[in-house]
Chain A
Amino acid sequence: MVSRTVTIRNRAGLHTRPAATIVKKASQYRCEFTIIKEGFRINGKSIIGVMTLAAEQGSELTLEFEGSDEEAASVDIAEYFERGFDEEF
């Protein structure tokens, strides 16, 4: 299992557009993908799940990847978080 801690950087937080992008990215990989916010674990391949987190700017999330392509998935998705979803900071 690969575990990464990321922070929401963009001002708008984890809103619908980035949530959809995350889910799309995650669905390209076979591995299980879980996002954890303050102990609340949701399936990272579920758009409703990711949106339910309602993660605002500054909140810290843990990303967990488990499966054959966990390494590639973790790099791809964690990088997207680090880039602030390519939005304004």
Chain B
Amino acid sequence: MGALDNIQEIRKQSITVGFMADTCRDRFHLQHLNEGVGRDKQITDKNLHRPQLALTGYTKLFTYHRVQVLGNTEFFYLQSLSPERRIEVFAALLSFDVPCMVVTTGNQLDPELVAIATERQIGIFCTPHETTKAIYLLSDFLDDHFAAYAPVHGAFVDVYGAGVLFIGRSGIGKSEVALDLIERGHRLVADDVVLVTRKGEGVLMGAGSALAPHFMEVRGLGLLDVRQMFGIRAIRFQKRVEVIVELEEWDPAAEYTRTGLEDATASLLGIEIPYVRLPIFPGKNITVIAEVIALNYLLKHYGYNAAQVFADKLSDAIANRSAGDMTSSRSTPYFEHDFE
């Protein structure tokens, strides 16, 4: 398995609070109360923390390096205290080096408390979402940015709704196959540099790079912009990687599957993905075969495995009748006066 051997996953060690603020501002209405403060602080953990016990003074196991979420419980606990005590408790909490703090449910933190955070250079954010939803959105965002990813050299196309990733040595014709598929109405996700990210359990998502989404190189032509050339119908921005197709020169010594009964998979970022090794030679229409691979994947996905059905029919015939009858009998018992 050549083309995937060389892949090494990358993981971000940290993101800045400023990056989170910019990315989440519109997406989930994250408002920076002390605008501009603490943007350079690093978030190093994808988990969140609700500092309930830390507020009451028990800070022994306080995971202060996580993003702190002040939900209703924390907020109303603070409100229940006298103003002096409230400031004292909040200052004690922020004496730890927390990256930033998010207040949920649109609760308004006292200006004096925000001032303490500003003094300590800690960003305070506010979101109108209630705590459960805010935690879900923030966790999803952080999960995404701390997820393992890797650039894969290949062409990634949505074929009939199945994400097909073509790999193989450079010059074998991955881009040409992608171009042919686009011409037939399928959608390009990325060519040459496919950023594959592990998202959740067993899911790989692929997208293009920010610098050149939907650009493609065709030998002899140079760089093409598929979006400009074929329009919005020819592209998409992200797709789950569902099948990996490795293109290679026909090798008479190699064994290619003849029945498709065995489920071949390839490991990418530690996840097993259905894998097809496809020998190419002149006169073989790879595009049509790629469509068939996608359709066969969809059939299997919806519970129909052609190879298995054929194998079962055969076993059935052998068990119930003499094989000789079956080989000589047609699928149509008689021609019903229809000579078309």
Contact = CB atoms under 8 A, between A and B. Distances in A.
Given A40-B10, A47-B223, A52-B212, 18 more contacts: A27-B170, A40-B151, A41-B6, A41-B151, A42-B193, A43-B153, A45-B170, A45-B171, A46-B193, A48-B215, A48-B216, A48-B223, A49-B153, A49-B192, A51-B211, A51-B212, A52-B192, A52-B211
A48 B210 CA distance: 12
B235 to A, nearest CB: 15
Nearest to B9: A39
B193 A48 contact: yes
B212 A41 contact: no
Contact of B153 (A39, A42, A51): A42
A52 B170 contact: no
B5 to A, nearest CB: 10
Given A40-B151, A41-B150, A45-B171, A54 B193 contact: no
Contact of B217 (A34, A41, A46): A46
A86 B8 CA distance: 32
B44 interface: no
Interface string B5-23: 0111010000000000000
B35 to A, nearest CB: 30
Interface residues of A, number: 16
Contacts of B34: none
The 6 closest A-B pairs by CB, nearest first: A48-B192, A43-B153, A45-B170, A39-B10, A46-B192, A52-B193
B209 interface: yes
Size bin of chain B's contact surface? 10 to 19
Interface of A: 27, 32, 34, 39-43, 45-49, 51-52, 54
B183 to A, nearest CB: 20
A26 to B, nearest CB: 9
A46 B6 CA distance: 15
A41 B6 CA distance: 9
A36 to B, nearest CB: 9
15 contacts: A27-B171, A32-B6, A39-B8, A39-B10, A40-B151, A41-B151, A42-B151, A45-B171, A46-B217, A48-B191, A48-B216, A49-B151, A49-B153, A51-B211, A52-B192
Nearest to A43: B153
Contacts of B170: 27, 43, 45-46
B53 to A, nearest CB: 38
Contacts of B8: 39, 41
A41 B10 CA distance: 9
Contacts of A42: 151, 153, 193
Interface string B144-186: 0000001101000000000000000011000000000000000
A54 B151 CA distance: 14
Contacts of A51: 211-212
A48 B215 CA distance: 8
B151 A48 contact: no
Nearest to B170: A45
Contacts of B216: 48
B199 to A, nearest CB: 19
Interface in B118-137: none
A37 to B, nearest CB: 10
Most buried by B among A27, A47, A54: A47
